[in-house]
Structure 1
Amino acid sequence: MKKIFTTIMSFLLMMGMLTPALAASQSQIQPLVETTAADITAKSAIAVDQETGQILYDKDSSTVRPIASMSKVISAYLIMKSVKEGKMTWNQKVSVNKSLEEVSENKDLTNVPLDSSREYTVKELFDASLIYSANAAILALGKTEAGSSEKFVNKMRSTVEQWGIHDAKLYNAAGLLENQVGTEKYPQTADNVENEMSAKDMAIVVTHVLKEFPEILKVTSVQSADFNTGTEKLEMINHNEMLKDGEQYDQKYQLDGLKTGTSEKAGENFAATGLINKRRVISIVMGSKEDQRFKDTKKIWDPLMSRLVLKKTDLKNESNVKMNSAEDGKVGLRLSVPFDYWAKKDDSTKLTLNKIELNDKKQTPFSAGETVATGYLSLNDSNFLEGSKSGLKVALASTQSVKKANILVQVGRTIADWFS
């Protein structure tokens, strides 16, 4: 009997400790998309906070469209990753085959001329790929990194899958039509296909790249540079006209990257990033009309800069979780790390938690500040780039030290829960 009683008691205590309750307000901030001008020409667009993924602006961002040379951001990530892991070096020599030489000489494409009889460093081709959007250069890098263009594209596909992007269509490292890449065409693909992804997924790509390799901005912020062709120095002018000395430069926009993309099917694309109130923001425009992508970007950034403010909260004492093993029967909560979020200047509502999950293995007693639960922050149903339907996952800490309740009290609470 004693063993049976002990087993029952243990089971009841376990069940009681895993019974969470939410005492937070369900009020939500109004969508920030309302702050942005609606007359941009882009078919799809999005703006997000790089640190949290909070969506600041959205226009049909989930529709998959051609991304053109914005593809090179994914390719550049894999090259930087390979260098970081010691598989490649910046001074490593790269040769090109006759087919890539011909691609580099295609006057319809953006390129630096490559000669199959000489070699180039990884750094030379990398800079040309991002500054001048040189197509044959990034194809050569991809082939060198993976052993073949097919294997490199497979790495691109695998990488975006790992980032939660499941509807991307990737065929080559450059973002060209398949009939433009010579012998580097992906097996069994049609000639007229090109890389495709949604604006939202492109924002996810840029977010991951900037978090892991912020040094990419040292290249994408370069407005002009020289490329040594072997016979002369070719001046490469960055296609991002919003950089200093560019035709669309305005000092109020603190942009330092990232990548343009243009094709007949895509229209004009632009993945931009820069600072607002010392906070990094990412914007994507896709399918802008001719000569409008930078103007579209400005129309998105203007209200973000003028109408939004950054707020900080730890949500202390705004939520609690029921815990039968705690002396008081519940635990007050706060964010383990204070959270910065964007809000309209005239908005008095606050960021709130809409779901709390008690950590399964958390035992009493414990001290104030210990992480005891997981919460989900929410502004609206789709307000974070990589959040779930419940919101953005965050760690929650106890606001006070918690003592262990008497064993009989714990059992009583658990039994009461069964009949409530």
Structure 2
Amino acid sequence: MNITKWKQLLVSLVVLALAATCFVPMSKAEAAGNDPIDVNASAAIMIEASSGKILYSKNADKRLPIASMTKMMTEYLLLEAIKEGKVKWDQTYTPDDYVYEISQDNSLSNVPLRKDGKYTVKELYQAMAIYSANGAAIAVAEILAGTETKFVAEMNAKAKELGMTNYDFKNATGLVNEDLHGKQPQGEGVKEESEVSAKDMALLADRLITDYPEVLKTTSIAKTKFRAGTDDEMDMPNWNFMLKGLVSEYPGVDGLKTGSTDSAGSCFTSTAQRNGMRVITVVLNAKGNLHTGRFDETKKMLDYAFNSNFSMKDLYPEGSQVKGHKTIDVEKGKDKQVDIVTDKALSIPVKSGDEKNYKAEVTLDKKEITAPVKKGTKVGTLTVTYKGSDKDYGFLKSKEFSVNLVTKNDVDKANWFVQMMRGIGGFFSGIWNSAVDTVTGWF
């Protein structure tokens, strides 16, 4: 080999060596698009409840099996029926053959029900919400809709009404239909099961605790007994191990629902409140141990939310005015303008020192309003968007958050004389301005 070829070979080796030393593999966080945490699950989401601000998201729009978290929709429909007076807590139910048969299946989570027994709606609800009793859930479905088939239609209709978009409820329990002993809802396949996206589960959880906050009094019960003091008494521990006193206890956790099947894996929708902030988390198919993996991955999200990363900030307190938009013109009013203010606090979870990166924008419905005007009349919105460099996941229902701008006071309509004098003044003002413009044109 001649000298020239040796030089070329040497240069090539040096270039390869330099390239090797300069290559730095991406970290997991970089590979995940600079996600702040690494949740080991097929899908996950965390929101702050009052604002709907998404604090973390992973595959959150992907529809996946949700197992017994399906019962959250069953709970919602029951609590709605209770509120509307269609069902009472103390009314009783006697199991039919289907409910009796499922309730006696020891391979499923259940409280055994007697074929000739009488059970109150309250007993069935607690068994479903605390112990995830499947027979009890089907019993609730029959109480509300007559049959589970009709109830499934109501579940999907309510999901649409709530604004959910990636869902398909197949039964009242979350079981795979083949576990229902050949008696699954009509029209549903044997291998099918309920599937919902993590984002829609967060939306359902948010509506459940917002519309019916009393649900937390039940979901926060760590241990109780079914039919205490009777021959049918049995222990009923909560499958949510993050509740106070249980093995994965986490301060502030008071709900909501676990779920697991072979296809869904380890699932959990949690909610926790600390330091004036309530968060909701969802994990679908968490990796690791079937019973504890969901809690391990949920803990990552809760730690991220509560351990000095976020706190609630009133960017604009209730009754605030926005610079440049403090008033709106009033036509035919005693006052020509009225102050406008926020109707509630624009409060969102913010990382320390990050307040400056949230920018407000005012949108008025009209340039002016006509008297008479009542205090609290909506005239526009105040919207906030994030302009910082951190990854922004947006909000549960949109990419931004807003509150209404409303009138601070009443404005009465001006009498005819005042309106006439203003009209005359406007007429002569117009003549004067026209004359000034004309004279100015001469020069």
Superposed pair shares fold, TM > 0.5:
yes
- Alpha-carbon RMSD across the aligned residues, in angstroms, is 3.2
- 2:37 corresponds to 1:38: yes
Offset, 1:335: 2.1
1:122 offset after TM fit, Å? 0.8
Matched residue, 1:181: 180
Match of 2:293 in 1: 292
TM-superposed CA distance for 1:83, in Å, is 1.5
Residue 328 of structure 2 contacts residue 367 of structure 2 at CA under 8 Å; is this kept in 1?
no
Partner of 2:235: 235
Aligned length: 375
Summarize the alignment of residues 389-400 of structure 1 with structure 2, pairs less than 5 Å apart: 391-397=400-406
- The correspondence of residues 283-322 of structure 1 with structure 2, limited to 5 A, is 283-289=281-287, 290=289, 291-305=292-306, 306-314=308-316, 316-320=321-325
8 Å CA contact 1:241, 1:249 repeated in 2: yes
Which deviates more from structure 2 when the two are superposed, residues 343-352 or residues 273-282? 343-352
> In structure 2, do the counterparts of structure 1 residues 316 and 237 end up closer, same or farther at CA, with 3 Å as the change threshold?
same
Corresponding residue of 2:370: 363
- CA distance in 2 between counterparts of 1:185 and 1:319 reads 61
Q: How does 1:138-153 map to 2 (within 5 A)?
A: 138-153=137-152
Q: Deviations over 1:322-358 (max 9, x none)?
A: 9676799998754221221111113241533345132
Spell out the pairing of 1:377-416 with structure 2 (5 A cutoff). 377-379=384-386, 383-387=394-398, 391-397=400-406
Look at both structures and tell me which one has the larger radius of gyration over its CA atoms: 2
Structure showing greater relative contact order (alpha-carbon pairs closer than 8 Å, 6 or more residues apart): 1
| Preserved CA contact (<8 Å) 1:322 1:329 | no
**TM-score, normalising length: structure 2:** 0.76
What does residue 212 of structure 1 align with?
211
- Aligned partner of 2:67 in structure 1 is 68
- Taking a change above 3 Å as real, the CA distance of residues 379 and 95 of structure 1, as seen in their structure-2 partners, is farther
Give a deviation string over 1:45-101, Cα, whole Å, max 9, x none: 111121121112211211111111111111011111112222111111111122222
TM-score normalised over the length of structure 1: 0.80
The alpha carbon displacement at 1:316 in A equals 2.8
Please give the secondary structure, in 2, of the residue aligned with 1:248. coil
Give the % identical residues: 31
1:367, distance to aligned residue in structure 2 (A): 8.6
Residues 1:377 and 1:169: Cα distance change in structure 2 (over 3 Å):
same
Q: Residue 368 and residue 284 in structure 1: after superposition, are their counterparts in 2 closer, same or farther (change >3 A)?
A: same
Residue 318 of structure 1 deviates from its aligned partner by 3.5
- Hey, what's the Cα distance between the residues in 1 that align with 2:223 and 2:77? 24
Instruction: Pick the aligned partner of 2:253 from 249, 252, 255.
Output: 255
Separation (CA, whole Å) in 2 of partners of 1:164 and 1:48 = 16
Unaligned runs of 5+ in 1: 1-32, 413-420
SS in 1 for 2:245: coil
